[in-house]
Structure 1
């Protein structure tokens, strides 16, 4: 493959696509393949649908439809190399962030703040893996003057690969928590894997933002060019005023009222404010950015139903985020009874039984009015009095019909695979 020829074609295109069902005219189709599908089979169809060109890695699919074909050794590698080439050609500053919890919320907050000053583009949704990061980079244009790239990982080496593709100028790790323990090999593996971002930045003498209250982050970045985020930043004073019912900060004399709850979200907001200050945004710009962000997509999202008000946090879950959310939910000042619906946490490996038991114990200690535990892992715990175990979603539906929760303040939290947001339809 001639990368320059592919890039010249890319600059004439309407972008790239990896799914013919979403293909738009004049895009370049990359025929990615996986264990159960072969994208090369759809190359001809992509040209018939109006693709400007197709990138394939199996020569036999270069016919019968006439059109522009790029034959490469590996379509995924070609996509990644094109993304890095484009990133270098644009030369815009890029901030990458990762972490066990809160990275998407923090990314959205940072984007809301920095967009008050920059024409920026950030990772959409969960496009944060080995395919999503290149697609994000290729969505940047010459009109953008700042980019934000979220990086997700469930095993060691993944962040290193993504950072090599994106070549960020700035980095931030939200935290090291109990997420994807199976793939990372325990909490030490999580720290090692996530801090691959630090090692990439250090190797290129780039800048990292660091939560100065986290001893491990401080230790790992001691020799790096770093910007510390805390109560005192660049001559500014940042004070946490409240976390209940909403997180409120005072930045010098400016009060900032967010739409988020809890100490864990306070840390996300503080990081976004600190990064905004570093890039020269005013107090009013930062206030506007934070206050404009309303969580959605099942992430700390408030949903009102005729019978209940619901905190929907069902996009994902791990022991660290589950603990933080339960404690924050307990502190809410509502006089209504509080009920929690908790779904299984995935990718915990041999620690799964102990971690699910610990969450059941925590929920009991917090004295919620009702606790529903959903999924095979939670069904195996030693439940406490009043805790209702449901081996699968259908059992939860029946249990909620039998146990009246009308008028309760509800928390719904579980891993993505549990899809607990489905229960909204019956509440």
Structure 2
């Protein structure tokens, strides 16, 4: 079946689905394959559960006119998403970066939704499957689409750009994330700037941090761009007022107090402000949008349990974000402070070195109590009485005693699931 014909069937459906456990009535099911599953097997069940059509790529599972056979289900999903994106003809804003992508995306969506009907990436569905699903969740009522793009190898962002065809783009930063796939920080920069390469090649608009020398140098010859800065008057000026603990910024004559902690969130806020201004949203509405945004999903959440205050940042971690979080935490005025850190994943050959650097940083910051959890942190040497390491979460849990009147930073990679610690406090 041709993509234009499939698109006509798609328009008859309410949404797209790839999981039979979450099928909704009148949806279109895509029978994706993985290393441990074959979606074709569940196509008939998807139809029984309420799907209007099931897209398959193995002929033996074609049981009715509602099962549509294609050569490759994943490729078809991606092609349909691009066709739908062209069909809608709406502006698409894409963003990527090593840290802060999802928070920045949420902030941008909160600001732009003050004036426009927006659709943005749900959670962090930002890969070769998530980007198509995001595009297919947009409809004729959508006025701006916001698409987050993630990658851990060279050429992935380039591939996602050809699916989403962004009109606008922003890169949060370049940090020591996914070094196992990118190979080095130079590889990270090369991989992430594939977004800018696409936008420049197609003469699209770029938003950027004018205080980031890497971005400034990359974009120096390019004209179709808008930047923010704390210091340079030829860009839109945004000032950091405070970050103890919540980030407070100043734009024009307005003070905006966010619900985000840490100086590392300053540029995330700046991006949302800059993009809001570009789309002619009143500064007072930008302020309302940002101040209404509450972080969730284990990202910089502040949780009060008993007489303890917990900063839960357990969604993800890499050396750059870990250093920023620790430095900010050390600068808080709270009296009793404790850190509980989990291993950082996908660092490849740099893992041992980077975990040792963080362990040393914890010691140098002089925090009262520190727990380092995971096989990588367990190998580190801190030579400090207040730093304790544990090979597993279970080992940590059996030793941990809940504190009182303490501010606790919890941070680690997603695979460590450190939000489990909340049950121990």
With normalisation by structure 1, the TM-score equals: 0.97
Query: Which residue number in structure 2 is paired with residue 140 of structure 1?
Result: 138
Relative to structure 1, is the Cα distance of residues 234 and 142 closer, same or farther in structure 2, using a 3 angstrom cutoff? farther
Query: Which residue number in structure 2 is paired with residue 393 of structure 1?
Result: 393
- Pick from 49, 56, 72: which aligns with 1:74? 72
Q: What is the CA distance between 1:234 and its match in structure 2? A: 8.2
Query: Which residue number in structure 1 is paired with residue 261 of structure 2?
Result: 261
Query: Which residue number in structure 2 is paired with residue 181 of structure 1?
Result: 179
Query: Which residue number in structure 1 is paired with residue 381 of structure 2?
Result: 382
CA offset digits 1:354-382 (Å, max 9, x no partner): 00000001111111110000000000001
Contact preservation (8 Å) 1:174, 1:268: yes
CA distance, structure 1, for counterparts of residue 65 and residue 409 of structure 2: 53
CA distance, structure 2, for counterparts of residue 83 and residue 106 of structure 1: 23
SS at match of 2:259: coil
Contact preservation (8 Å) 2:226, 2:235: no
Q: What is the CA distance between 1:160 and its match in structure 2? A: 0.8
CA distance, structure 2, for counterparts of residue 259 and residue 51 of structure 1: 40
Contact preservation (8 Å) 2:229, 2:235: no
SS at match of 2:246: coil
Contact preservation (8 Å) 1:356, 1:378: yes
Q: What is the CA distance between 1:253 and its match in structure 2? A: 1.1
Query: Which residue number in structure 1 is paired with residue 111 of structure 2?
Result: 113
Contact preservation (8 Å) 1:361, 1:384: no
Q: What is the CA distance between 1:383 and its match in structure 2? A: 2.2
Query: Which residue number in structure 2 is paired with residue 172 of structure 1?
Result: 170
Structure 2: which 5+ residue stretches go unaligned?
A: none
Query: Which residue number in structure 2 is paired with residue 222 of structure 1?
Result: 220
CA distance, structure 2, for counterparts of residue 156 and residue 282 of structure 1: 38
Query: Which residue number in structure 2 is paired with residue 303 of structure 1?
Result: 303
Query: Which residue number in structure 1 is paired with residue 317 of structure 2?
Result: 317
Contact preservation (8 Å) 1:233, 1:274: no
Q: What is the CA distance between 1:222 and its match in structure 2? A: 2.0
Q: Aligned pairs, how many? A: 422
Q: What is the CA distance between 1:270 and its match in structure 2? A: 1.2
SS at match of 2:303: strand
Q: What is the CA distance between 1:244 and its match in structure 2? A: 1.2
Relative to structure 1, is the Cα distance of residues 393 and 332 closer, same or farther in structure 2, using a 3 angstrom cutoff? same
Query: Which residue number in structure 1 is paired with residue 353 of structure 2?
Result: 354
- Pick from 152, 165, 168: which aligns with 1:154? 152
CA distance, structure 2, for counterparts of residue 309 and residue 291 of structure 1: 21
Query: Which residue number in structure 1 is paired with residue 329 of structure 2?
Result: 329
CA distance, structure 1, for counterparts of residue 372 and residue 409 of structure 2: 12
Contact preservation (8 Å) 2:338, 2:369: yes
CA distance, structure 2, for counterparts of residue 271 and residue 199 of structure 1: 19
CA offset digits 1:187-232 (Å, max 9, x no partner): 1110111111111111211111111111111111223321112136
Q: How does 1:194-213 map to 2 (within 5 A)?
A: 194-213=192-211
Q: What is the CA distance between 1:398 and its match in structure 2? A: 1.8
Q: How does 1:59-70 map to 2 (within 5 A)?
A: 59-63=59-63, 66-70=64-68
Relative to structure 1, is the Cα distance of residues 201 and 237 closer, same or farther in structure 2, using a 3 angstrom cutoff? closer
Q: What is the CA distance between 1:236 and its match in structure 2? A: 5.5
Relative to structure 1, is the Cα distance of residues 129 and 233 closer, same or farther in structure 2, using a 3 angstrom cutoff? farther
CA distance, structure 1, for counterparts of residue 417 and residue 382 of structure 2: 22
CA distance, structure 2, for counterparts of residue 326 and residue 222 of structure 1: 33
Q: What is the CA distance between 1:50 and its match in structure 2? A: 2.0
SS at match of 2:108: helix
Contact preservation (8 Å) 1:234, 1:278: no
Contact preservation (8 Å) 2:100, 2:268: yes
SS at match of 1:247: strand
Provide the aligned C-alpha RMSD in A.
Answer: 1.3
SS at match of 1:152: coil
Return 216-225 or 177-186, whichever deviates more. Answer: 216-225
SS at match of 1:407: coil
Query: Which residue number in structure 1 is paired with residue 337 of structure 2?
Result: 338
Relative to structure 1, is the Cα distance of residues 259 and 333 closer, same or farther in structure 2, using a 3 angstrom cutoff? same
SS at match of 1:317: coil
CA distance, structure 1, for counterparts of residue 250 and residue 34 of structure 2: 49
Contact preservation (8 Å) 2:314, 2:413: yes
CA distance, structure 1, for counterparts of residue 233 and residue 6 of structure 2: 45
CA offset digits 1:314-354 (Å, max 9, x no partner): 0000000000000111111223x100000000000000000
Return 167-176 or 46-55, whichever deviates more. Answer: 46-55
CA distance, structure 2, for counterparts of residue 147 and residue 67 of structure 1: 33
Q: What is the CA distance between 1:8 and its match in structure 2? A: 0.4
